[in-house]
Chain A
């Protein structure tokens, strides 16, 4: 199983990124040493439960962290060049034209008192220096691109359905021809049929425009439909990274395994789902060692004290002591 993107030059490199949130004088580590590479045209999913750090990772990359967040370690590089992700003003030229974000709640992200065509035209005027007429023409083009008839551009957000609004969000994100789209749960608020339409649209746009996609989601089954690679996050760290086919056919991390087993899947006919015991950890008292150890059926003594590193394993990466000891044994005997 080879990943066709592996030979391409990295578009985005996230290197040991850590973000802390300040809270009443304390600081909480939301993500802890997150590293990955995104290549042109590649679709990568960041999957995790609430509090896993998937949204913080994405917002850090886009330079959209909230004011009480601080990048405490690590760098993000775009085409080899370091991004000023903790400097709002310096980030401005990079947003929209390199990385755009499609947010979850399209109703909250759109301005209710402006016609949608005007909202899409705005970044074109500000960023690409277009005249109003040019920008309007571009906005209409973009509407057609996302499957909305150009004459609907005169509508206000409240006149559109949830699916249409999400299409408008995508059109806006595409306005300044970015090479990376970050989708933060872009289909979570939508019905399944609309969700399927939006996922199909994202897939089409991706191949048409050679877009790289970072999809933030809690839903592994959505990932199966539209991504090349998936990174599983737990309590602020990536615990497994692999191609979609690998992860679903042969998950390595116990958390990934349990997560897949807890999704009802009529395709395999098994009605039994295995609950994962316990609750996701909160950031205030993250368990020592591997954060998953209190819930892990295969936890060993070492898991309670040492954080497993995210090491290469097969085609992907996994952060689990089980596999580290396994791999060490292999090297010893070889």
Chain B
């Protein structure tokens, strides 16, 4: 693959949270375990590429986003940004250049905005704290530019408003404007539209796609919603219990899934007027196991309708099943 084009590369990335055992366990010398939230992920994001990271709750998708934005520290593997290993970088000032280049959009625009700050101050804050402007005129210009980019027109009308004066869609636009203000090269968006009304979602998605088209910004779009991922992303990575089970183009994942978990997710997704492909596999039983007790072998085997002996013993590697299409399943060849 074109190494130079990748803005971000995750190599065997791991985040294990240690479990503090009780006093009794410690006295008895019982081994304390770990929650394997992210358990060895390989993923690349190209410049100007939109990659969707899809998974259920507890799959580790948010932790991946937090590691990329350096809000959490990986316990293993590498995080390469523009060719440089960032996995062990920490501290506010060494990370300042990185934070300019990588920004995050959170799910809940109600909580992400300080209710006592005006829209102007919210959007200006990253510019000030990362020291990207020299004077007030420049600051106003950059804030205006960011608000316009997020679809808040005319920007001047919003400067003095407070978050409570805005609708849900406008609030999410302010969050986006804040991320956009520093002109990042990669945005990590964690469920950016799941709190919004359906009629507003398309507007926000359009803003994100425009950013890519106009500024060649890369986007990691974290979601639990496969149809949404299909709509916005170039590629989709499906995460199950801390590990990627399938990666491929949005169309390959949606129309030609090669992992039983992806198939199950697609089957379970309610759809308008589309049931032609349903019923190929029985619906999944049970729920995602705890990341503190990851099943042996293929971690999906206890719920997999196609599991056989090998799946219970050996963990399947990521097999190439097509051009840029990988599936971690013993049956996918």
Chain B residue with the shortest CB-CB distance to A193: B268
- CB of B283 within 8 A of CB of A266, answer no
Q: Which B-chain residue is minimally distant from A276 (CB atoms)?
A: B199
**Main SS of chain A's interface residues?**
helix
Which of the segments A94-102, A126-134, A257-265 contacts the partner chain? A257-265
CA distance A197 to B225 in the complex (A): 17
Task: Kindly state the interface size class of chain B when it binds its partner.
Answer: 35 or more
- Give CA–CA (A49, B201) in the complex, Å: 12
Judged by a CB distance under 8 angstroms, whether A287 is at the interface is: no
Which of A56-64, A215-223, A308-316 lies at the interface with chain B?
Answer: A215-223
Q: Assess A49 versus B272: contact at CB under 8 Å? Given A193-B284, A265-B227.
A: no
- Tell me which residues across on chain A come within 8 A of B273, comparing CB atoms: 224, 248-249, 265, 267-268
Query: Which of B56, B224, B227 sits near A264, CB closer than 8 Å?
Result: B227
How many A residues touch the partner, as a band? Answer: 35 or more
C-alpha gap A64/B68 in the complex (Å): 46
Give chain A residues whose Cβ lies under 8 Å from the Cβ of B288.
Answer: 191
Q: From B18-26, B69-77, B166-174, B324-332, give the one contacting chain A.
A: B166-174
CB contact under 8 A between A196 and B283, given known A266-B230, A268-B273: yes
Do B228 and A264 have beta carbons less than 8 Å apart? Answer: yes
Contact with B along A258-299 (1 / 0, CB 8 A): 111011111110010111110110100000000000010000
Interface status of B152 (Cβ within 8 A of chain A): no
Report the bound CA distance from A235 to B243 in whole Å: 43
Chain A residue at smallest Cβ distance from B227: A264
Q: Which of B169, B200, B283 contacts A200 (CB 8 A)?
A: B283
In B44-102, the 8 Å CB interface with A consists of 56-57
Decide if A265 touches B272 in the complex (CB within 8 Å).
yes
Q: Which residues of B contact A248 (CB under 8 A)?
A: 272-273
Contact A267 B274 (CB under 8 A): yes
With both beta carbons as reference points, the residue of chain B lying nearest to A199 in the complex is identified as B270
Whether a CB of chain A sits under 8 angstroms from the CB of B276 is yes
Task: Give the CA-CA distance A282 to B265 in the complex, in Å.
Answer: 35
Which of B168, B227, B273, B274 has most A Cβ within 10 Å? B273
A50 at the interface (CB under 8 A from B): yes
Q: Which residues of B contact A (CB under 8 A)?
A: 56-57, 167-170, 197-203, 205-206, 224-228, 230-231, 254-255, 264-265, 267-274, 276, 283-284, 287-288
Interface set of A (CB-CB < 8 Å, partner B): 49-50, 161-164, 191-197, 199-200, 218-222, 224-225, 248-249, 258-260, 262-268, 271, 273-277, 279-280, 282, 295
